[in-house]
A and B are shown apart, each in its own frame.
Chain A
Amino acid sequence: MLNIPVLRWGEPYESLETDEVIHHRTGEVLAKVGQANPGLLARDMRKADRARELLREIPIKDLIEMMKKAGDLYLNATLPLGDGEQSPDDFARQQSASTGLPEHMCKFNMEKNHFVLNNMDQIFDALTRGLDLEILERGFGVEERGVPVSYQAQSPVLGMVLPSNSPGVHTLWMPVIPMQIGLVLKPGPQEPWTPYRMFAAFTEAGVPREAIGIYPGGPDMGAETVARCGRVMIFGSTQTVKNYSGNEQVQVHGPGYSKILLGDDVVDQWEDYLDLMADSIYKNSGRGCINCSGVWASRHTEEIAEALAERVGPYEVKDPTDPEAGLAAFTVPGQAEAVWGMIEEGCQENGTTHVTEKHGARLEQLERCDYIRPTILHCDSPDLKMANTEYMFPFTTVVKCPQEQMIKKIGGTLVASAITNDEAWAAQLTDATNIDRLNIGPLPTIALNWLQPHEGSIVDFLFRARAYQTPDDRLKRICGK
C-alpha cells in the first residue's frame, strides 16, 4: 500500500486525514491519499503567481520538449509515487483496480496521453492557430501577416476538479504547462493515479515542481478550487453545467449526449454503418462523454435497434485483467442499481422498448461492485423520456425522428456524427449551436482529431486576445518585426 501526500506547489505535505483508495473487487487498500483542507489551498494560492513566473523563465519550445520527454517517462518509466514507486504496469493495474476500467483500457489511455504529450508541438500549433510561440511568451507581438496581436493570461494557474470515473479526461490539461500556466489539480477520489504520475513525469522531465499543486479532498476542496483559481475546469452533471452557465471563469465538462444522426439519403443503407455505430457505443467501456448514447434516424429504427442489440447485447462481464474485458465496473455502492432503476422506469413509457432484454439480465451485482451490460432501447418518438439520456456504460437509444426535426430535438450534443451526403442538411448542422464537435460523414463519435479543440479552445479559455498598441519602433525593437 502506498501513502500519497498532498503536494503544495510540489512540496509533499503529510495530512493527518487520509482517504483510502480501494480495489473494487478485492477490497484491498491500494493507497492512502492525504486529504487537504480548503484552507491549505487558500493559503497556497498566494504563491500562484510564482508558478507562472517560474514557467515563464523557460521558453515554450523547451517546455514542449519537456512534455515529450514526460510523455515517454509516463508511458515507460518507473516513477516515484508517495512513499514508493510505480511502474507503468503498476499504474494500469492500480487505475483499473480503483476505477473499474479494464486494465487494457487503462493501458490504451496511457498511450492516448503519451500521444498527446509526444505531439504537443503540433497540438500547440493547432490550438494557437499557428501563433508564434514568442508572442504567447511575451504577451504581445506581430503576426506573420504583419498585424500586432496580444494575448493576456487570465490566471497564473488553471484549477482542475477531476472526476473519478473517466481517466480519459486528463488529455485536456496536458497543454497547460507549456502555455506557462501552473496547475492546481484536485483529483477524483478513485483516480489519484494520473495526476500524481504526470507530476512525477513532468518534474523528472524538467518542469519546476513549484508549478504544480495537487490537493486531494472532498467536495469542499472542489468548491475551494473553483473559488480560488482564476480559471477552472470541472466535470459534472447537467445540473453542474447549469450552475456555472455564463461563468467565464469556469469551463464545465458535463455529459456528452453524443449521437449518430443518419440522414434520409443514407438511412436505407444503415447496415453499412453498423460497425461504426457499435464501436461508438461500446469502445472504451462506453463510459466517455464522446461515446454514442443516441442513434437517430427517420426510418428503419426498429431494425437498427435490433441489429445493435444483436451486436452488443451478448457482451458479458469479464475480469478487469482479461484482455477481452469490455465493460467497466460501477464501483460506487448502489449506483448501478439506481441507474438500472431509472432505465426500467423509463421503459414503462409507451413507445419505449428495451431491445437487449432477450440477451439476458443487464444488471449484474457482485460482492463489492456492479456492472450493467450493454443496453439498447428503442424510442418511437424524440419526445419520449429515454430519447435523450446518457449513462456511464454502453447504453444507446435508437430514436425515430424526422430529419427536419432532428437538429432541434437532439438538444445539447457534444459529438454529432451526421452520416449524410445532403449538403443542405450538412450546412444546417454546421450552423447548429447545440452541437459541439461535428463530424459529417461516416466517422465514429469516439474518433478524436487531437488537433481540433474540445468543448472550446483551451487557449481562448486561458488567454484573452486584446488590443495592444505601441509605436512601431518599440515593436520592432522588442519583437524584431
Chain B
Amino acid sequence: MADLNESIQKARAALDAHTVEIVKWHFSPETGCPFWLDWAREAGWNPADEISCFDDIIAKFPHFQDEWLRDKQPEVWVPQEFAGKPFNIFETGGTTGMPKQRIGWNDYKVDYSEFSDSLDDAEFPRDHYWLMVGPTGPRRLRLSIEHLANVRGCSCYFVDLDPRWVKRLIADKQFDQAKAYMEHVVDQATTIMKHREVSALFTTPKLLESIAERLEDEGSSLYEAGIRGVFCGGTTMDPQYTRFLVEELLENKIGFKPTYGNTLMGLAKHKPFTPEDKFSITYHAPQPRAVLRVVNPDTSEPVEYEEWGRVELTTLTKEFFMPRFLERDEAIRRPPIELYPWDGVAEVRPFGAMQKKIVEGVY
C-alpha cells in the first residue's frame, strides 16, 4: 500500500507539472492557439500565470463547451508552434448536423504507441496482419489503429461501418435495414478473414458477436479463423456481457483488450482482469495527457469510489487543451492501481442509461 501511495503521489506530481507546462503553452502568445488566447483576454485572467496544479484547472475553468468544436473554424485551435503545418481533422460520433471536430498532428501516434507497450506479443503477434471492422471515415480511430498495427510491424485491413447511419436507422425504427447493414459489414469482414491471414481484430462488441456467430454458423470460430487478440470498444460492456465475450466468443483462448477512447481524449487502457473484478472493466486515462474524473452531475464534485457519476474529461497536450469536458457517459469511480496510479472509470455506459432509452446501435 505504501508503494501504491508513493506511486499515486508521483503520478500526481507529474500531472501537476504537466498541467503547468501545457497551460503555459496554450496561453502564451508565442506558442498558444487563437481560441485560448482570445478566451483568456475575455475572461480577464491569465491561466499561464494562475494555474499551478491540476486542481487549479478544476477550480478555475468552466466546463468546456462542445459547441466550440462545432462552431469554430479549425484554424482557431492551431497552436502557434504548429502554424503552417497541415493537420488531421477528426470528428466525433454525431448523427445529424455539424459534428464536433478536433484537429491534430501526432497525438494519436503518441497514444497508440504507448498502448502498444501494454500488448502481449502472443495475443497480438508482431509482423502480422490486423483487421479493423468499425468506424473509419473522419474518425481518429482509423489512423490510430493503422499506426498501432504499424508500430508492431503489422499491416491492417479495414472494413468500414458508418455509425451515424446505423443510429439513424435505429432511431427511425428501420430495424430490418440496420440488420441488413450489419450483415453487409459482417460479410466483408468474414470474407477478409477467410481469404487473408489475420491475427488481431479491432471491432465493436456487437460486431464481434455477429462475426463470431457467422464463423460458427460456417463451422469455424474466431480462434480457428486465426484470431489471437481482440480489441473492443465503442459501446457499453457490462460485466455479464464482457464475460460472455471472453468465455463464449473468445473461448478464453483469445486475448481481450477492452478500450475506451474517443477523438477528444485518446485511448484509455483497461485494468488487467483479476478474478475479483468479476469482468467489471475499469479504464484508466492516458494520464497526464488526459484526465478522467467521475463527478456528481449536479455539483461537479467527484463521487465516492464505487459510486456512479458523469465522466468529465480534461485533455492536456501541446496539440489540444480541453478543460473539464462533460462526456455523454456515466461510469463508476474506481481507485488507482499500481499499473495506473490514478483514478479509473468503470462500466462506462451512456449518461442516463438507466433513465432513458439510448440509441447505441452497433457502435
Contact = CB atoms under 8 A, between A and B. Distances in A.
B168 interface: no
Contacts of B244: 37, 39-40
B239 A39 contact: no
Taking each of A17, A37, A39, A46, which has the highest tally of chain B beta carbons within 10 Å of its own beta carbon? A39
B220 interface: no
Contacts of B243: 16
Interface string A34-47: 01010110110010
B61 interface: no
Given A37-B244, A39-B244, A40-B248, A46 B216 contact: yes
B111 interface: no
B213 A15 contact: no
Interface residues of A, number: 10
Given A37-B240, A42-B213, A16 B248 contact: no
A17 B216 contact: no
B358 to A, nearest CB: 13
B21 interface: no
B209 A16 contact: no
Contact of A17 (B239, B248, B249): B239
Contacts of A16: 238-240, 243, 278-279
B216 A35 contact: no
A117 B79 CA distance: 78
Contacts of B216: 43, 46
Contact-size category for B: 10 to 19
A39 B278 contact: no
Contacts of A42: 209, 213
A15 B248 contact: no
A37 B241 contact: yes
Nearest to B249: A39
A19 B190 CA distance: 36
Nearest to B213: A42
A17 B242 CA distance: 11
Contacts of B278: 16
A35 B213 contact: no
A40 B212 CA distance: 13
A385 to B, nearest CB: 27
B213 A17 contact: no
B248 A39 contact: yes
Interface string A13-42: 001110000000000000000010101101
Contacts of B240: 15-17, 35, 37
Contacts of B279: 16
Nearest to A44: B248
Taking each of A17, A37, A40, A42, which has the highest tally of chain B beta carbons within 10 Å of its own beta carbon? A37
A62 B248 CA distance: 36
B238 A17 contact: yes
B238 A39 contact: no
A42 B216 CA distance: 11
B346 to A, nearest CB: 13
Taking each of A15, A16, A17, A40, which has the highest tally of chain B beta carbons within 10 Å of its own beta carbon? A16
Contacts of A40: 244, 248
A16 B240 CA distance: 5
Interface in B240-268: 240-241, 243-244, 248-249
Nearest to B239: A16
A239 to B, nearest CB: 12
Contacts of A35: 240
A232 B209 CA distance: 23
B247 to A, nearest CB: 10
A13 to B, nearest CB: 10
B41 to A, nearest CB: 51
Contacts of A39: 209, 241, 244, 248-249
Interface in B136-153: none
B248 A43 contact: yes
A39 B248 CA distance: 9
A16 B279 CA distance: 8
A16 B347 CA distance: 13
A39 B238 CA distance: 13
Nearest to A42: B213
Interface in B216-253: 216, 238-241, 243-244, 248-249
Nearest to A227: B179
A246 to B, nearest CB: 15
Contacts of B213: 42-43
Contacts of B239: 16-17
A37 B239 CA distance: 11
Contacts of A17: 238-240
A8 to B, nearest CB: 11
B328 to A, nearest CB: 21
A37 B279 CA distance: 14
Contacts of A43: 213, 216, 248
Nearest to A40: B244
A42 B278 CA distance: 23
Nearest to B279: A16
Given A37-B241, A39-B241, A43-B216, 17 more contacts: A16-B238, A16-B239, A16-B240, A16-B278, A16-B279, A17-B239, A17-B240, A35-B240, A37-B240, A39-B209, A39-B248, A39-B249, A40-B244, A40-B248, A42-B209, A42-B213, A46-B216
22 contacts: A16-B238, A16-B239, A16-B243, A16-B278, A16-B279, A17-B238, A17-B240, A35-B240, A37-B241, A37-B244, A39-B241, A39-B244, A39-B248, A39-B249, A40-B244, A40-B248, A42-B209, A42-B213, A43-B213, A43-B216, A43-B248, A46-B216
Interface of A: 15-17, 35, 37, 39-40, 42-43, 46
Q: Which 8 A-B pairs have the closest CB atoms?
A: A17-B240, A16-B240, A16-B239, A37-B241, A39-B244, A15-B240, A39-B209, A37-B244
